[in-house]
Amino acid sequence: MNELWNKVKTNIILKFLIVGGCSTGIDFVIYILLSMKLPITLSKGISMIISSIFSYIANKSFTFENKDKTDVWYIIRFYLVFGANLGTNLGVNYLVFNCTGYKLLAYLAATICGMTVNYLGQKFLVFMRKV
């Protein structure tokens, strides 16, 4: 068990997936609850904004182990990447839902596409290591 934990602590992609799984769980629960009363795109946008707060804190401290003091530039870069993720996520969610009518399929496709954009942006733009 200790060996597994050491592997998790040193594997950035595994840590990103753990944090992403938690963020996705938060996003999913809020999305499903809101989509019972609100339009699907609005529900998805709200759920992503709420889960993004958790994502920022967990990725900064756990995934990328960034010890720099959070300043306005981290927040700006994070939310620029978040904007790209949100646009990708909302667009894919809308397209898949309108083509299939399946809410869960739309959510999964949107999450996979958005997660890819999010990982690359956070790794190379937000929390990149300074040389």
Q: What is the pLDDT of residues 54-87, one digit of tens each?
A: 988 998 888 888 888 888 888 899 899 989 998 9
Amino acid sitting at position 45: G
User: pLDDT by residue (tens digit) across 90-125?
Assistant: 999 999 999 999 989 998 999 899 989 988 998 899
DSSP state of 102: -
Please, are residues 109 and 91 in contact by the beta-carbon 8 Å criterion? no
Please, are residues 14 and 7 in contact by the beta-carbon 8 Å criterion? yes
Residue that has been written with the tokens 């790794």 in this structure: 123
CB atoms within 10 A of CB 51: 21
Q: Which residue has the higher pLDDT, 29 or 16?
A: 29
78: nearest Cα among 121, 23, 21: 121
pLDDT for 16? 86
Band (pLDDT 50/70/90 cuts) for residue 130 is: low
User: pLDDT by residue (tens digit) across 87-97?
Assistant: 999 999 999 99
The pTM assigned to this predicted structure is: 0.71
pLDDT for 36? 95
Angstrom CA distances, 45 to 10, 70, 86, stand at 32, 24, 7
82: nearest Cα among 108, 109, 120: 120
Give residue 27's Cα distance to chain centre.
9
pLDDT for 119? 87
